[in-house]
Amino acid sequence: MATQLTLHERERVAQLRAAKASYRKIGKLLGRSPTTISREVKRNSAVDGYWPAQAQRRAQLRRRERPLTRKLDDPELNEYVRVRLARHWSPEQIAGRRRLEHPAGRRASHTTIYRWIRNSPQRGHWEHCLRRRGRRKDLETRGKLPRRVEIPDRPEVVRQRLRYGDWEGDTIVGARRRSGLVSLVERKSGYLLLNKVPRLKATPVRRVIQRQVAALPAELKHTLTLDNGKEFAEHEPLAERTGLAVYFAQPYCAWQRGTNENTNGLVRQFLPKGTDFTYRRHHFIQQIQDWLNHRPRERLGWRTPHEELFRHIAGATQS
């Protein structure tokens, strides 16, 4: 589903346009279609050129002038949600099942369903259907990093795993937070990049990620979806220096980075919770990365992540 460009993306468009980049190249770097970039520049340019802040204001003005429609005003979708709430399904389960049953139809995210419950005249009734009786923390209350772009703005091709080069990332915390690991996992192949980080602070984490992706070919650098930890506060310079479009999972929705969460669990097989990574050599961390990348996976037809990814790289090189 198409989504509005964010201010950060518009700033990137302006920078790349100034560098004479084509619409096709800009689209590739942002994970957007060239048509979207072309339409954005034509619709939101002023007489003296394309300016991101002005483009953002124009887009927001058009959006405010558009008639307000709420997803759950749709009778069929509203009935779908009500029936399943009455069966004591969670909003996450309803949203996920709706995507499965109606991939091209009208859908509502779990946050939309929670918001609808909160604003409903029958709020008490619908909250009684929830496992936690509505006492769940609001998803929006967790502190957010500035200028972050959330998963709903991520291209659909990423969710469907239709290409290589879309990554998920997180940190694995050592004992007493004295040190940690940075793990990046490629969504389609499951290939892992694992490195030590001396401190779980924004700058060291950014530098480690930059080193991790530096040797990757351009076709493997599309997007990176991260957790909401403060160690990812330098996501803007990270995007600028790596060419990756950076997105964030929504708070308390670890399943949105399920590949990464699962892989971190595999890493814990070798480094249980409470391990002090300070005394673990880089060579041992590299060994763990190699063990997991050369372990066959059922979803890959029992090929290994290493075989899957490097088969793609070899094919791309030959073509």
198 in a structural domain: yes
Per-residue pLDDT at 272 exceeds 70: yes
Per-residue pLDDT at 140 exceeds 60: no
* Partners of residue 226 on adjacent β-strands: 169, 248
**Rounded CA gap, 16 and 22, in Å?**
8
CA end-to-end distance (rounded Å), the chain: 30
Least confident of 60-64, 280-284, 290-294: 60-64
142 in a structural domain: no
* Residues 275 and 244 both lie in one domain: yes
The percentage of residues in the chain with a pLDDT greater than 70, rounded to a whole number, is 91
* Residues 229 and 98 both lie in one domain: no
285 in a structural domain: yes
* Partners of residue 7 on adjacent β-strands: none
* Residues 227 and 260 both lie in one domain: yes
* Residues 234 and 276 both lie in one domain: yes
Domain stop point among 88, 105, 136: 136
* Residues 114 and 46 both lie in one domain: no
* Residues 245 and 299 both lie in one domain: yes
Residue 126: band (very low, low, confident or very high) from pLDDT cuts 50, 70, 90:
confident
Domain stop point among 136, 169, 189: 136
Q: Number of folded domains in the chain?
A: 3
145 in a structural domain: no
155 in a structural domain: yes
User: Which pLDDT does position 25 carry in this prediction?
Assistant: 92
* Residues 18 and 122 both lie in one domain: no
Decide: helix, strand or coil at residue 217: coil
Arithmetic mean of pLDDT over the chain: 87
CB 227 within 8 A of CB 169: yes
* Residues 300 and 165 both lie in one domain: yes
User: Which pLDDT does position 139 carry in this prediction?
Assistant: 43
CATH number of the structural domain spanning residue 239: 3.30.420.10
CB 216 within 8 A of CB 244: no
Least confident of 48-57, 76-85, 118-127: 118-127
Write out the residue range of the structural domain in which residue 177 sits: 151-318
Residue 144: band (very low, low, confident or very high) from pLDDT cuts 50, 70, 90:
low
* Residues 78 and 203 both lie in one domain: no
* Residues 199 and 223 both lie in one domain: yes
Average pLDDT over residues 7-26: 90
* Residues 36 and 129 both lie in one domain: no
User: Which pLDDT does position 1 carry in this prediction?
Assistant: 40
Average pLDDT over residues 217-243: 93
pLDDT, one tens digit per residue, over 175-202 is: 877 789 999 999 999 999 999 998 999 9
**Residue 113 structure tokens:** 């369903």
User: Which pLDDT does position 69 carry in this prediction?
Assistant: 62
Per-residue pLDDT at 293 exceeds 60: yes
CB 65 within 8 A of CB 59: no
* Residues 190 and 265 both lie in one domain: yes
176 or 43, greater pLDDT: 43
Per-residue pLDDT at 49 exceeds 60: yes
Domain stop point among 31, 65, 99: 65
144 in a structural domain: no
111 in a structural domain: yes
Alpha helix segments (H runs only) across the chain: 7-18, 23-30, 34-44, 52-65, 75-86, 91-101, 110-119, 123-128, 156-159, 202-214, 235-242, 258-267, 282-293, 305-318
pLDDT, one tens digit per residue, over 70-98 is: 788 888 999 999 999 988 888 899 999 99
Per-residue pLDDT at 256 exceeds 60: yes
146 in a structural domain: no
**Rounded CA gap, 242 and 218, in Å?**
10
